[in-house]
Amino acid sequence: MSRIAIMTDSNSGIMPAEASNYGIHVLPMPIIIDGTTYFEGIDITVEEFYQKQTSGSVITTSQPSPGDVTGMWDRLLQTHDEIVFIPMSSGLSNTCQTALLLADEEPYKDRVFVADNHRISVTQALSVLDAKSLAEKGLTAREIRDILEEEAMDATIYIAVDTLEYLKKGGRITAAAATLGTILKIKPVLTIQGDKLDSFAKARGMKSAFRVMVEAVKADITSRLSHLREQGLLKVGIANTMMDPDKLEEFKEEMKKNFPHMELVYFPLTMSIGTHVGPGGLGIGAVRSR
């Protein structure tokens, strides 16, 4: 029997089909499209999702059912002694809080450890890979959970939205603001610092928004994350919703030019995030990683 299973959800950007490549386990997030529930990376592709979104389908997100969560725990505990579960940030979904409650009950108490380390997308994925590395070094599930939570704020994320349509549909901005912003080609820049998704800046055009995000990440690296850079424990990341592959490569090359001495990590922004951001979204950030 293996000692520790590392488990996350697909908001990390790691899909269930890719999980074995990393030696981890991924719980797919549910997406509700026109009243039908799909599971990310299981029965709907990225291409199908954005085709439905751009054609006007009504799309909402949901958290996994308690049965789906405990079902995976039950399967993993047949072949592992303990589980470290790293869901998306508790500030962005109730998945983490539900899992914490479930893990406090038998037969999961002291066998399943839920890490609320306030991450999503690339930063969440790197936490998962860190957890895998720590498990291989012989740490217990409790020790891994504690380390991830202690290091929770060692990350920063900025996201630029290419279209205001889906923020309007989600009720985050008014229809009038969305119309005016579209006319003026305004691209809002959002930030995630721990639990909250907040407005950070506005830019005219995606290239301008990208420059705003790069300067924001540089500022974070030279201030509150500087100790990690000095220790060689900091990586930069980039993620996106559906966009032209050549445009994505341009952004990746610009990241390498702006952060020449740091490893660049890429994972896609998932359908759950794409529901609110829409196609053409871009996220960059920096995160502690071993």
pLDDT in tens, 229-284: 999 999 999 999 999 999 999 999 999 999 999 999 999 998 988 988 899 999 99
Round to whole Å and give the CA distance between 158 and 214. 9
Q: What are the tens digits of pLDDT across the range 128-141?
A: 999 999 999 999 99
Lowest mean pLDDT among 23-32, 118-127, 169-178, 222-231: 169-178
For residue 220, CA distances in Å to 155, 191, 228, 265 come to 9, 12, 11, 18
Whole-number pLDDT of residue 166: 60
> Which amino acid makes up residue 195?
D
Determine the 3-state secondary structure of 275 from DSSP. Answer: helix
Unique residue bearing structure tokens 């119309």: 179
Whole-number pLDDT of residue 270: 87
Quick one: pLDDT band at residue 174, thresholds 50, 70, 90?
Answer: very low
Contacts 24+ apart (CB under 8 A), 105-108: 107/77, 108/70, 108/73, 108/77
Q: What are the tens digits of pLDDT across the range 89-102?
A: 887 778 899 999 99
Unique residue bearing structure tokens 């220790």: 231
Q: Which two tokens stand for residue 232?
A: 């060689």
Handedness of CA 36, 41, 47, 53 (dihedral sign): positive
Q: Which strands form 36-39's sheet, in the order they lie side by side?
A: 36-39, 30-33, 59-61
Whole-number pLDDT of residue 264: 97
Single out the residue of 6, 253, 265 nearest to residue 121, CA to CA: 265
Query: Does the pLDDT of residue 175 top 50, yes or no?
Result: no
Q: Which domains does the chain have, with CATH numbers?
A: 2-29+64-150 (3.40.50.10440), 155-288 (3.30.1180.10)
Query: Does the pLDDT of residue 34 top 90, yes or no?
Result: yes
With pLDDT > 90 as the criterion, what percentage of the chain qualifies?
Answer: 74
**CB of 283 closer than 8 Å to CB of 188:** no
Q: Which two tokens stand for residue 71?
A: 């079902």
Whole-number pLDDT of residue 188: 84
Determine the 3-state secondary structure of 171 from DSSP. Answer: coil
Q: What does pLDDT average to over the chain?
A: 90
